[in-house]
């Protein structure tokens, strides 16, 4: 009986060679510039990390709007999960996040979501605390930047880098969801208009469908 050939048993990377990765080789063979992709992923990771930080501040000033505060908390913790979801992929592709958190923050691909009225985060709000409307506007625009960021990464990796695309697509789905949440809240708070997002309460704050505590999380 003839032995069936194993077409994928060997390739350019020699057996036992730990200086190269077949995962990178296959992505490059499909036309992805891995070095450029890694740089975009680092910028995106920086944006998720800093957004988590700034949302921590923003939610503190939503006291009295506990429904808004809870949804902000969902988005805040899910953005942290996004950072943790994409970071391992950066290393798998031969990259590294910066060793200095200040460098990571400076590289963030989206503007800082400063608390309104603080002169870009330099001091406490002057005169009076920021309104819920002002905070919701900051939250909404932060999510819109994230949607643009992850859409670009999905475009780059679709049909070429299956693992990065899968992770980016999961993150994009949650960012689109977050945008819808803040449109709903801002529409009512600022305009008195009903603009439903379809938001359902999470099991626990931040437990999105692709968070680390969900059954779908599988980086």
Q: What is the pLDDT of residues 130-175, one digit of tens each?
A: 999 999 999 999 999 999 999 999 999 999 999 999 999 999 999 9
Instruction: Give, as one character, the DSSP assignment of residue 129.
Output: P
**Does some domain include residue 109?**
yes
**Does some domain include residue 183?**
yes
Domain that holds residue 37: 30-191
Looking at residue 43, its pLDDT comes to 98
Q: How many domains does the chain have?
A: 1
**Does some domain include residue 210?**
no
Per-position b or e across 158-180, b if 16+ CB within 10 A of its CB = eebbeebbebbbbbbebbebbbb
**Does some domain include residue 24?**
no
What are the residue ranges in the chain where pLDDT is below 70? 1-3, 5-10, 16-20, 204-206, 208-219
**Does some domain include residue 197?**
no
Looking at residue 198, its pLDDT comes to 77
Q: What is the pTM of this model?
A: 0.87
**Does some domain include residue 125?**
yes
**Does some domain include residue 200?**
no
SS3 at position 166: helix
Q: What is the CATH number of the domain that holds 100?
A: 1.20.1260.10
**Does some domain include residue 66?**
yes
């Amino acid at each position: 009986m003839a032995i069936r050939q194993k077409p994928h048993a060997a390739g350019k990377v020699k057996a036992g060679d730990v200086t190269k990765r077949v995962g990178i080789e296959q992505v490059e063979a499909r036309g992805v510039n891995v070095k450029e992709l890694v740089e975009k992923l680092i910028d995106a990771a920086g944006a998720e990390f800093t957004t988590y930080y700034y949302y921590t501040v923003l939610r503190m000033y939503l006291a009295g709007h506990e429904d808004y505060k809870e949804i902000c908390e969902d988005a805040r913790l899910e953005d942290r999960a996004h950072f943790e979801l994409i970071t391992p992929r950066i290393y798998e592709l031969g990259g590294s996040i910066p060793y200095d958190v200040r460098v990571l923050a400076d590289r963030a691909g989206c503007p800082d979501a400063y608390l309104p009225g603080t002169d870009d985060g330099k001091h406490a709000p002057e005169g009076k605390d920021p309104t819920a409307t002002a905070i919701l506007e900051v939250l909404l625009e932060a999510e819109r930047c994230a949607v643009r960021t992850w859409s670009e990464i999905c475009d780059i990796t679709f049909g070429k880098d299956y693992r990065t695309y899968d992770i980016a697509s999961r993150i994009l789905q949650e960012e689109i969801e977050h945008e819808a949440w803040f449109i709903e809240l801002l529409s009512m708070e600022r305009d008195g208009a009903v603009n439903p997002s379809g938001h359902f309460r999470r099991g626990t704050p931040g437990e999105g469908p692709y968070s680390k505590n969900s059954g779908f999380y599988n980086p």
